[in-house]
Amino acid sequence: MTTSAVQTSRGPVTRKDVARYAGVSTAVVSYVVNGGPKNVAPATEAKVREAIRVLGYRPNAAARALKLGSSETIGVVVPDNTNPFFTQLAHAVEDAAAELGFGMVLTNSDGSLTRERKNIRTLAARQVDGVFLASCVFDPDVTELEASEIPSVLLNNAGSPPGINSVGVDLEAGARAAVEHLIGHGHTNIGLAIGTNTGNQLDGREVGWLATLRDAGLPDGPMLHGPFSRPGGYEVGKRFLAMANRPTAIFASNDMQAIGILRALHEAGVRVPDDMALVSFDGSLDAEYSWPALTTVAQPVKAMAEAAVQALVGKGRGEELQHQILPTELIIRQSCGCK
């Protein structure tokens, strides 16, 4: 039987066509396509795969989802998929989900609550098996998630929201480690570059920065707000430089801000770390390859992703609510003054 004969006589190639071509049952074709549940002899599997190749068979995902009651797909909503941290996090979620046989649909809210909610509704309409929400605010309204009746996990969230699982890091502890390190280098005027659009809840990085300064008997340093982006950091960096009593060190709330600040400092001829030290937060790959390389508070991306996937579609699914807070790690490089 030729490929054209199958397609013209029957329309789209079906599992029965593959079975007929390979000389096996449709059940055997199903075992090969789905990787089980029964094993197939290597020679028989080779015949089935050759039939699939020759005929151009493509499994009907929609029909399979209807039969199984599962789309075998999870949805992910992030605030900015150009942010290297969220790129790494989404990639880690995709890998962890793939280990359990799930595909992933990634959506970007662009830092907009309106778009965030629209993305949730779109994913719900696609009947995904679950949604990971890395919200653009720390205290998101989960009404849209509850209305979807689809299991959900708040990703990169350090709070304990009622009625929904969450996975995040101890932002305050991470900030404390960063500021204590700068104090250890002798800095007494330490500024904070903090993001915008964080909702009603105070950012743990701000809490940790301020508490550490006060615990050390130091004055509150200057704090400037700007978008969690390279351009946002660049503008904040210029504003720090314009201060009459500008800080000798800056703690930036994410790596992208820090990279923007680095550009502003370089353009002004300010040497890092000799004239101004800099420590950031996230631990993205960009931090390692900036110049000088950024000392940064690294988030455990792989562990966060695995914990979130297990809570949503793995062993933790259906268990009691979990609010998992994972530790950060201060990665020492050159931007703080360490050699």
Confidence band (pLDDT; 50, 70, 90) for 122? Answer: confident
**CA-wise closest residue to 232 among 206, 197, 208:** 197
Pairing verdict, β 295-298 and 329-331: antiparallel
Beta strands in the chain (DSSP E): 73-78, 103-108, 130-133, 152-155, 165-169, 190-194, 223-225, 249-252, 277-282, 295-298, 323-326, 329-331
Q: Phi and psi at residue 2, in whole multiples of 5°?
A: -95, 160
Q: What's the confidence (pLDDT) of residue 159?
A: 78
Max avg pLDDT among 51-65, 77-91, 196-210, 267-281: 267-281
For 327, the token pair is 């530790």
Which has more confidence, 155 or 198? 155
Q: What's the confidence (pLDDT) of residue 9?
A: 46
User: What percent of the chain lies above the pLDDT cut of 70?
Assistant: 88
Q: What's the confidence (pLDDT) of residue 59?
A: 64
Is a pLDDT exceeding 80 seen at residue 307?
yes
Q: What's the confidence (pLDDT) of residue 37?
A: 64
Query: How confident is the model over 47-63, as a mean pLDDT?
Result: 77
Query: How confident is the model over 27-51, as a mean pLDDT?
Result: 82
Burial 99-126 (b: 16+ CB within 10 A, else e): eeebebbbbbbebebebbbebbeebbee
Is a pLDDT exceeding 90 seen at residue 198?
no
User: What percent of the chain lies above the pLDDT cut of 90?
Assistant: 53
Is a pLDDT exceeding 90 seen at residue 225?
yes
Is a pLDDT exceeding 80 seen at residue 6?
no
Q: What's the confidence (pLDDT) of residue 7?
A: 44
Confidence band (pLDDT; 50, 70, 90) for 61? Answer: low
Max avg pLDDT among 76-80, 140-144, 187-191: 187-191
Is a pLDDT exceeding 60 seen at residue 310?
yes
- What's the mean pLDDT when you consider all of the chain? 86
Max avg pLDDT among 15-29, 151-165, 222-236, 317-331: 222-236
124: Cβ contacts below 8 Å, ≥ 6 apart: 131, 147, 148, 150
Domains of the chain: 15-59 (1.10.260.40), 69-169+301-327 (3.40.50.2300), 171-299 (3.40.50.2300)
Is a pLDDT exceeding 60 seen at residue 63?
no
Q: What's the confidence (pLDDT) of residue 266?
A: 97
Confidence band (pLDDT; 50, 70, 90) for 5? Answer: very low
Confidence band (pLDDT; 50, 70, 90) for 91? Answer: very high
